[in-house]
Amino acid sequence: MERKRTVIFLVVGILVLCSGMIGLVVKFSGNTRGPVGDGSTLTPRVGTCRNSSEPGTAAGFPETFGGRYAMCTGPHEVETYYVGRVDGSLSDTGADKEIGDTCRAEADKFLGGPLPTGKVATTSYLEENASHLAKRWFSCDIAEVGSTAATTLVSRTGTLRGALAGTGPMLIGCANATTDDFVFLADCATPHTAELAGLYTLREEVVPADGDARDRAVAPGCQKTVTDFLGWDQPTFEDSELIEGTFWGPTAEKVRAGDRVFQCFVTTLGDRKLVGSVRALGPRKVPVVA
């Protein structure tokens, strides 16, 4: 699995974070791909579930396809939601893009809503040691997670199919921000430091050369997403001494490969905590405590 990377950046003015405050931008962990072993003995099947680790633990996605199979109605961590074939004539880069595009599109259909709005993460596996490489299988796998970094999978019962359709507990609402993560909360009644404001999709014609270019391209769009969520105009947002905004999303490399959706968060300044949602806050007082 690809190692995660944290980028700290400074932005001012109309960017997501203003008044010289430092914001957090980190890589979204969905759609990473790990190797698999001998495809002749492990062939994925849609609708199967399994545990990724030893009993009593719930680390991140396993490095290889496999694990301890389980009934989806019983405790499990990982669910296979799509299995496809990739043309062996494709380069590694071409195969990665085809798998990533397919798994993201199929995840939205499987969940009934956009993948980045949910407390879920995905990974994919590609058959590496097949005797005939003309067409290798790949699997798209999903799990409930406790934070955006997805380093820990949540043991659950029941399928994730349709989990993001309408409203429900699997949608990301409020969270606590750390230096490199957003830890999800059950609701916004618990004091918290962040709330998902929405998603921003980077335009197809934008091809960032590096992380700084990605930040400059994404920041204005995410700031607009945050101000719309708050019901504020830009001057009100820039003048606030209580809350700001930041975003979490794919690296510049992942953007170039087709992953272009970023999560935009409202976050607090200093050590303050929000004690309610700030959706459509408008002229009301920001619900913060020291």
Q: What is the pLDDT of residues 62-74, one digit of tens each?
A: 888 877 889 999 9
Pick 82 or 29 by higher pLDDT. Answer: 82
pLDDT more than 70, % of the chain? 81
Report the C-alpha gap between 31 and 226 in whole angstroms: 25
Predicted TM-score (pTM) of this structure: 0.82
DSSP letter for 59, please: B
Average pLDDT over the chain, rounded to whole? Answer: 83
CA distances from 290 to 41, 155, 271 (A): 57, 34, 6
Report the C-alpha gap between 139 and 256 in whole angstroms: 22
Q: What is the pLDDT of residues 203-251, one digit of tens each?
A: 999 999 999 999 999 999 999 999 999 999 999 999 999 999 999 999 9
Report the C-alpha gap between 275 and 290 in whole angstroms: 11
Model pLDDT, residue 163: 97
Q: Is the pLDDT of residue 20 over 80?
A: no
Q: What is the pLDDT of residues 258-274, one digit of tens each?
A: 999 999 999 999 989 99
Model pLDDT, residue 65: 85
Torsion angles phi and psi, residue 80, rounded to 5: -90, 120
- The band of 159, judged by pLDDT with boundaries at 50, 70 and 90, is very high
Q: Are strands 120-126 and 32-35 parallel, antiparallel or unpaired?
A: parallel
Question: How many Cα atoms occupy the beta-carbon half-sphere of 272 within 13 Å?
Answer: 16
Model pLDDT, residue 135: 73
Q: Is the pLDDT of residue 280 over 70?
A: yes
Q: Which of 27, 263, 262, 267 shows the shortest CA–CA distance to 151? A: 27
Model pLDDT, residue 143: 96
Q: What is the pLDDT of residues 169-197, one digit of tens each?
A: 999 999 999 988 999 999 999 999 999 99
- The band of 35, judged by pLDDT with boundaries at 50, 70 and 90, is very low
Pick 106 or 61 by higher pLDDT. Answer: 106
Give the best-scoring range by mean pLDDT among 5-19, 42-56, 75-89. Answer: 75-89
